[in-house]
Amino acid sequence: MPYRQMGYVFFLKVFTIMFGSFYDVAVVGFHTAFSLFGVHYFFTKVSRVFQLNRLLQLPLLVILLFPFFPPLSIANNLCSEGLGFGLYLMFIAIGMDILFNNKHQNFKYYLVVYLALVSVRSQFIFSTLIFAGTYFMMYRKELLQKKHSLNILAFVSIMFVASITERTYHKVKDGFFKPTPLGYTSAATAPIYLSNKSDYKLIKNEDYRKVFKISYDSLIKKDLLTKPEYTTKETYKFFHDNLPKICNQTVREVGKAYYSNKPTPKDWSENQANSYIFFETEAACKEYTKVLILNNLNEWLKLYYANITYGFKSQLLLWFVALIFFYSLIKTFLNSKKEYAIIFLLSSLILSNAMFIAFAVHSIQRYLFYNYALIFLLFLSTYNILRRGQKS
């Protein structure tokens, strides 16, 4: 399907060719070995960067191994998290090595791992900008030096390389030079869940308008729209529990059904004709996502905040991370010490992933367990800064 991530499709195809009907056993074995290697690599690098003793290494290791067991069981399922977790840990560890151990020779590994990670889990596509921002603040006084300018350029430009690679893949496979038709089909779920039927008048494209109206009517029949008497907590709870029914089983299916009845050019290949419905559904969702958010902004912001908060399990934890982000941003800009840059990097990575997921889908463990080890390291780093401050 066009909405499947490129990297994991290639991965499964290779294992299918190599192992035939036993490919699933081989995939699970590879998931386990690869993700455990990622845990080992991250654990080793981070222990040195943060100078962790045995007592602090133990809880970190427990957190890193948690996703291997129920309810996530990432290594035991045919899911992209089996690769994504190991790649993410390696990506963070190599990035930290570059920033805080001056291992600039590892840039080539950083770029390769980032491209592999994003091809499997696109939720991390903007993460390289956080490393670029951290690097900029650490070396802003030396930016005229060629090596620092080139390093920042590498951090940023790799994101565009990833985007072009993804589009090229779809051009070759599906006949369209477009990104994977997944993001806005998912992101449209919250806006349409909060919408009013009259919102269709704001959508200029006639086809997009019809797709919205049919989707809206289908959601009414299925009783999958928010109700005026709901509190913010109830609004989010219903959305959280029913997102697959709203998105996968209604919004996407309505779009597919609508565009499958539209005539296509005779010179199109079968792949183009089949994938066209997915790309057009994504385009329709992109258009009315923007329209619906702007027209129902207050309601959407409340749901968005509830979505982020649910992922953190506590407003207190969310505001702690947000406070540390702003504190470290100011401190790193004024004084580019390693200790402040570290907590800026950690808080930025945690918040960016949480905010991206809250925009695109709902905050379930499957998308946010990547943050757990970083939150532990953030608490530890903040505690060390406060302790040093008291001593001084």
- Listed residue (96, 111, 43) closest to 344, CA to CA: 96
- CA 35, CA 67: separation in Å to the nearest integer? 10
| E strands, the chain, in order | none
Q: What is the pLDDT of residue 3?
A: 85
d(CA 275, CA 256): 10
User: Is the separation of the CB atoms in 122 and 5 below 8 Å?
Assistant: yes
35/311 Cα distance (integer angstroms): 23
φ/ψ bin of 291: left (φ > 0), alpha (ψ from -120 to 50), beta (otherwise) = alpha
Helices (H) and strands (E) in the chain, counts: 18, 0
Q: Measured between alpha carbons, how far is 313 from 329 in angstroms, rounded to an integer?
A: 24
Distance CA 101, CA 44 (A): 14
Contact 161, 115 (CB under 8 A): yes
Query: What is the token pair recorded at 118?
Result: 């994003």
DSSP 2: T
Burial of 192 (0-12, 13-18, 19+ CB in 10 A): buried
Asked if 246 and 303 count as a contact pair (C-beta separation under 8 A), the reply is no
* Cβ neighbourhood burial of 314 (10 Å; 0-12, 13-18, 19+): exposed
Q: Which residues 6+ apart lie within 8 Å of 50 measured at CB?
A: 56, 342, 377, 380, 381
* Contact call for residues 186 and 287 (beta carbons, < 8 A): no
H/E stretch holding 330:
helix 315-334
**Cβ–Cβ < 8 Å for 203, 25:** no
Q: Which are the contacts of 132, defined by CB distance < 8 A and separation ≥ 6? A: 152, 155, 156
Taking only the tens place, the pLDDT of each residue in 195-211 is 998 999 999 999 999 99
pLDDT in tens, the chain (392 residues): 888 899 999 999 999 999 999 999 999 999 999 999 999 999 999 999 999 999 999 999 999 999 999 999 998 888 999 999 999 999 999 999 999 998 989 999 999 999 999 999 999 999 999 999 999 999 888 877 888 889 999 999 999 999 999 999 999 999 999 999 989 999 999 999 999 989 999 999 999 999 999 999 999 999 999 999 999 999 999 999 999 999 999 999 999 999 999 988 888 988 899 999 999 999 999 999 999 999 999 999 999 999 999 999 999 999 999 999 999 999 998 887 889 999 999 999 999 999 999 999 999 999 999 999 999 999 999 998 888 766 65
CA 19, 23, 28 angle in degrees (round to 5)? Answer: 130
DSSP character at residue 121: -
In 10 A of CB 357, how many CB atoms? 22
DSSP per residue, 227-295: -TT--HHHHHHHHHHHHHHHIIIIIHHHHHHHHHTS---TT--HHHHHHHHHHHHHHHHHHHHHHHHHH
Each residue of 289-303: pLDDT tens digit? 999 999 999 999 999
DSSP-assigned states of every residue in 354-378: HHHHHHHS---HHHHGGGHHHHHHH
pTM: 0.95
